[in-house]
Amino acid sequence: MSKTGWRNLPIAGIIPKAGSSLEYKTGTWRAFKPVVDESKCTFCLLCWIYCPDGAVKRFNSNKKISIDYDYCKGCGICASECPVKAISMVEE
């Protein structure tokens, strides 16, 4: 029986095709979700700027934002940065 060494391990960390992040729904990691209080939101878009996952969607036509829960990881940065505290982190 041959010994398994590090040379026999498959090479990891390779993304074989572009655009695969669309298929990987990082929202499944979330324990807390951001909920927006529209009555407080001033559409300053700081949450949109700060979100590391591009999970805040902006709608210029009616000056509203929404959260894409397929990709929101629940980090809470948006809630922390919102100047009027319009975003609350709610346990899933």
By CB under 6 A, name the binding residues for ligand SF4. Answer: 34, 36, 41-47, 51, 53, 55-56, 65, 67, 72-78, 82, 84, 86-87
Q: Is 57 helix (H, G, I), strand (E, B) or coil?
A: strand
The answer to whether the beta carbons of residues 50 and 63 sit under 8 Å apart is no
- Least Cβ distance, residue 24 to ligand SF4 (angstroms): 14
Q: Name which of 10 and 90 has its Cβ closer to ligand SF4.
A: 90
If one counts every other C-beta atom within 10 angstroms of the C-beta of residue 11, the result is 5
CA atoms of 51 and 78, how far apart (whole Å): 6
Q: Name which of 43 and 61 has its Cβ closer to ligand SF4.
A: 43
Q: Name which of 16 and 83 has its Cβ closer to ligand SF4.
A: 83
